[in-house]
Structures are given as structure tokens and as C-alpha cells.
A and B are shown apart, each in its own frame.
Chain A
Amino acid sequence: DAGVTQSPTHLIKTRGQQVTLRCSPKSGHDTVSWYQQALGQGPQFIFQYYEEEERQRGNFPDRFSGHQFPNYSSELNVNALLLGDSALYLCASSRGDGNQPQHFGDGTRLSIL
């Protein structure tokens, strides 16, 4: 049973560019959440997708957007990259019930030069 898979594992971009990160949820999961983990810090919630719609969002600017597909996979898009966007981006999946724990992928390490 495959867990949460993310691609790519590493990515290097320059300021001003745009990036797309991808996530496939664990089998049986329909909800995908994205988190940003800066170096030495805890993950911070970006947003959550359920039934192909964003249903909750953290304190991130509109440069951060996402999408969920009918097969429950998801993309995170970041426009106009800043140096401060350098971080580990984590995808987590769960079932729609509110008390189900989230399962995390290994993340995408994004470096901005």
C-alpha cells in the first residue's frame, strides 16, 4: 500500500520564477493538505483540498495556489518566487473525517537562488 508520494524531491529555482509541486495521497484518502517547513521550524499550514475545492487556508499570500484532481492528487503552485520561499514543502493526506490523522510524504525541498 503506497503512502503519500511527492515529486520532485528537490528543486532549484531563481527569484521571480514559478514552480509546481505534486502530491499523490495515500490509497483511500480524499483530503490533501500542504505545509511549508522552513529550516529549523515546525511545518506551517498552507491550505487543504477536499472534493477538488480549497476548503481551508492558512496565512499565505495569493502567490500560493493549488488544485485537486478527480483522483484526489494535488498540485501546489507558487508564483513570483522569493528567497524566503526556500523550504521543505510537505503534503499530507487523510480521509475527510475531522478526527483522522494526517499521513505525510517525504516532501519537496525547494531552494531559491
Chain B
Amino acid sequence: AQSVTQLDSQVPVFEEAPVELRCNYSSSVSVYLFWYVQYPNQGLQLLLKYLSGSTLVESINGFEAEFNKSQTSFHLRKPSVHISDTAEYFCAVSGIGGYNKLIFGAGTRLAVHP
């Protein structure tokens, strides 16, 4: 079984400042890791994923996340945020060899202020 803990329910930050959204997971098997973003009144959009290979993965809009197996973490970072990054961010895992059932954290609300 897997579980995901997102350590911050809300993260307020000023525009152009750096941000880190923290995610830790627990699993008895190896996992794939994902970050999804949810804008108001919308579904979830895949931001980035770690399946294998390089532990640092990047998205097209400047976010990056690093898989740390020893610390069972997959924190999301962005060096400079924009107002448009305001959204809910969800970390998720799925067990390798399973049927890609996603287990989500409770989410982190990123609020970017001018």
C-alpha cells in the first residue's frame, strides 16, 4: 500500500520569488511519482512525472521535481513564480507493476501575490 503526505496545505508567495512544495511518500513497493495541477473548476493536469532514469525531472513551464529515494520525497520547485501559477498542486504515486492506480496527497494551495 502507498500513502502520500503533502507537508503544507497552503503556500503564499510573492510573484517572482522561488517556491518549494513538499511531498513525501510511503510505499512497500517501488513507485512512479507524479505532480498534478488543478485550476479552479477544472480537472487535474499532469505537470511532471518520474518513471525512471534521471532523478531530476522538469516541466515545460519551469517547474522541476527531484526524486529522493532515501528520503522518500518528490518535492516540487520553481525558481520564479508567476501570478498564473496560483492553483492547487497534488503529488501522487502509483505502484510499479500495478494498474497505475493513483494515490494522491491532500494538495497544496499555492497562492502567488503581486
| A-B interaction | yes
For B92, the chain A residues whose CB sits under 8 A away are 42
Q: Interface-forming stretch among B14-22, B38-46, B76-84?
A: B38-46
Contacts A99-B96, A101-B49 given: A45-B101 contact, CB under 8 Å? yes
Once the chains bind, are B96 and A33 in contact (CB under 8 Å)? no
Query: Interface size of A by Cβ–Cβ distance < 8 Å?
Result: 28
B63 CB-CB contact with A under 8 Å? no
Once the chains bind, are B101 and A48 in contact (CB under 8 Å)? yes
Q: Which B residues are closer than 8 A to A by beta carbons?
A: 4, 6, 32, 34, 36, 41-46, 49, 51, 90, 92, 94, 96-107
Inter-chain pairs besides A31-B100, A56-B101, A105-B43, 6 sampled, C-beta below 8 Å: A35-B104, A42-B106, A48-B99, A101-B34, A102-B102, A104-B43
